[in-house]
Amino acid sequence: MYLKGNGVQKFVPQTQNIGKMIKVKLRAKSISGNRKSLYLDFYPAIPDPKQIGKFTRREFLGFYLFDKPKKPIDKKHNEETKILAEQIRQKKDNQLNKPEIYNGYEKEQLRLKEQGEQSFIEYFQTLVEKKTGSNYDNWATVYHYLNTFTNGNMPFANLNEKFCNQFQEHLLTAPSKKNKLRKLSQNSAISYFNLLKAALKQAFKDGYLHTDLSAKIKTVRHKETQRQFLTLEELNTLAKAECALPMLKEAALFSALTGLRFSDLEKLVWGEIEFIKGNGYFVKFKQQKTNNYEMMPISKQAYTLLGVPKEATDKIFEGLKYSTYTNHHLFRWLTKAKITKNITFHCFRHTYATLLLSKGTDIYTVSKMLGHREIRTTQIYAKVIDKTKREASNKIKLDL
């Protein structure tokens, strides 16, 4: 289980005695059919093996007694059930109050049994709560799919390769959380499944799993996606076209001139724009996706798009929000500009990268401008440029 203190979570084995003698009583609760269900009553409460971080006073045994039995067979059933229940009560009492009577092997078996009964879903939730920014959003999304797939019930003891493979298949066919009418993309499904593997690896390190299950599972390979982008001519046409949502137009063109993501534009405030004499304008901000702090130079034209400066804490694109409404206006704006490509807002970031590369900017500089951690991420754009060059070269043909 996890005990919280001073903001730090500390792992404590369930078999650990908290310091007080725990009274274990055998009690009965009336149920249907003139029967009584037997359960163990603990005082004080003990850590609940099925819910991480919670405590319980009861443990139902799954046995019942007949209330006022008349038939000999019912009386015998009561006698045998009481003996068995008392044995279980005594064993639990020893486990909680006299752990010294168990040898090393028995203690380990008890520990493994109790950990196996704990909920992997709740453990996953504790991992989600430690994340921040878009990392939190991704982990929370995986928790959503995992919780739905298992109906909120998955003990550690039931985790195996078969379950993991079935969950991966579920993700590959599941509807998108943002748009129920669309299937989750293959690359998103794979990224989410890799977070499940990360959770399994952490569970192994924390001692909940006996083996590193994550190392045994194969992940479907990422599908190489085609990055859609606008040519400089298309971008200029779009800039001249009218948009019913002016703020969306400003944000989109600013993204195309700076490479900033939608999530970064949403929270961008005037205090993050800075002018340094002799060096020009900069955006200093913390990337939502990577949590890295960036100091990015921007052009004077990009700055001019923002309009009249306001207070340092005011958002530059106040009211900008990812929604069906916003996407609708984006589509209408593209239609007015007679652009038929399947363009999403993120494509403006793609446009920024591809235009820089096409104008001769080296890939290392482009990688830094985009805030990529690894240059191989930026190489995807280089492939797009190579493909575009190839298509352009094939347009020149001689009549031989």
280 and 236 assigned to the same domain: yes
Q: Is the peptide bond before 13 cis (omega within 30 degrees of 0)?
A: no
Q: Would you state the pLDDT for residue 13?
A: 41
Q: Is the pLDDT of residue 288 over 70?
A: no
128 and 273 assigned to the same domain: no
Please report which confidence band the pLDDT of residue 296 belongs to, taking 50, 70 and 90 as the band edges: confident
Q: Would you state the pLDDT for residue 389?
A: 54
Please report which confidence band the pLDDT of residue 395 belongs to, taking 50, 70 and 90 as the band edges: low
Question: Per mean pLDDT, which range of 67-71, 163-167, 290-294, 388-392 is the poorest?
Answer: 388-392
Residue 59 located in a structural domain: yes
Q: Would you state the pLDDT for residue 181?
A: 72
- For residues 49 and 41, the model is more confident at 41
Q: Is the pLDDT of residue 350 over 60?
A: yes
Q: Would you state the pLDDT for residue 114?
A: 64
Average pLDDT, stretch 160-175? 91
Q: Is the pLDDT of residue 119 over 90?
A: no
Q: Would you state the pLDDT for residue 14?
A: 44
Q: Give me the phi and psi of 292, to 5 degrees please.
A: -90, 145
- Distance of alpha carbon 376 from alpha carbon 396, whole angstroms: 32
Average pLDDT, stretch 256-269? 90
Residue 227 located in a structural domain: no
Q: Would you state the pLDDT for residue 100?
A: 61
Neighbours of 345 (CB within 10 A): 18
Model confidence pTM above 0.75? no
Q: Which domain holds residue 153?
A: 120-216
Contact (Cβ atoms closer than 8 angstroms) between residue 64 and residue 36:
yes
Number of domains the chain contains: 3
Collect all residues with Cβ–Cβ distance below 8 Å to 217 and sequence separation of at least 6.
Answer: 161, 164, 165, 168, 197, 200
Distances (CA, A) of 339 to 112, 162, 335, 342: 61, 46, 6, 9
261 and 369 assigned to the same domain: yes
- Distance of alpha carbon 309 from alpha carbon 300, whole angstroms: 14
Half-sphere exposure at residue 272, Cβ-oriented, CA atoms within 13 angstroms: 22
Q: Is 111 exposed, middle or buried (0-12, 13-18, 19+ CB in 10 A)?
A: middle
Of 38-42, 222-226, 261-265, the range with the highest mean pLDDT is 38-42
Residue 223 located in a structural domain: no
Long-range pairs, 230-237, Cβ under 8 A, ≥24:
230/256, 230/339, 230/341, 230/343, 230/347, 230/348, 230/351, 232/355, 234/337, 234/339, 234/341, 235/351, 235/355, 237/337, 237/338, 237/339
Please report which confidence band the pLDDT of residue 362 belongs to, taking 50, 70 and 90 as the band edges: confident
Residue 305 carries which DSSP code?
A: T
Question: Per mean pLDDT, which range of 233-237, 254-258, 283-287, 315-319 is the poorest?
Answer: 283-287
Question: Per mean pLDDT, which range of 110-114, 213-217, 232-236, 290-294 is the poorest?
Answer: 110-114
% of the chain with per-residue pLDDT over 70? 81
- Distance of alpha carbon 27 from alpha carbon 129, whole angstroms: 38
What is the residue-averaged pLDDT of the chain?
82
Q: Is the pLDDT of residue 329 over 50?
A: yes
Please report which confidence band the pLDDT of residue 176 belongs to, taking 50, 70 and 90 as the band edges: confident
198 and 318 assigned to the same domain: no
Please report which confidence band the pLDDT of residue 1 belongs to, taking 50, 70 and 90 as the band edges: very low
Distance of CA 140 to the CA centre of its chain: 4
Collect all residues with Cβ–Cβ distance below 8 Å to 93 and sequence separation of at least 6.
Answer: 22, 24
Q: Which of 163, 189, 216 is the last residue before a domain boundary?
A: 216
334 and 355 assigned to the same domain: yes
Report helix, strand or coil for 246. helix
Q: Would you state the pLDDT for residue 353?
A: 87
298 and 387 assigned to the same domain: yes
250 and 380 assigned to the same domain: yes
258 and 149 assigned to the same domain: no
Q: Would you state the pLDDT for residue 15?
A: 44
Give the start-end residues of each E strand in the chain.
2-5, 8-11, 23-31, 35-47, 55-66, 273-276, 280-286, 293-298
Average pLDDT, stretch 225-253? 90
Please report which confidence band the pLDDT of residue 183 belongs to, taking 50, 70 and 90 as the band edges: confident
* pLDDT, tens digit (0-9, with 9 covering 90-100), for 69-99: 989 888 999 998 899 899 889 888 887 777 6
Q: Would you state the pLDDT for residue 166?
A: 93
144 and 19 assigned to the same domain: no
Q: Is the pLDDT of residue 54 over 90?
A: no
Residue 228 carries which DSSP code?
A: P
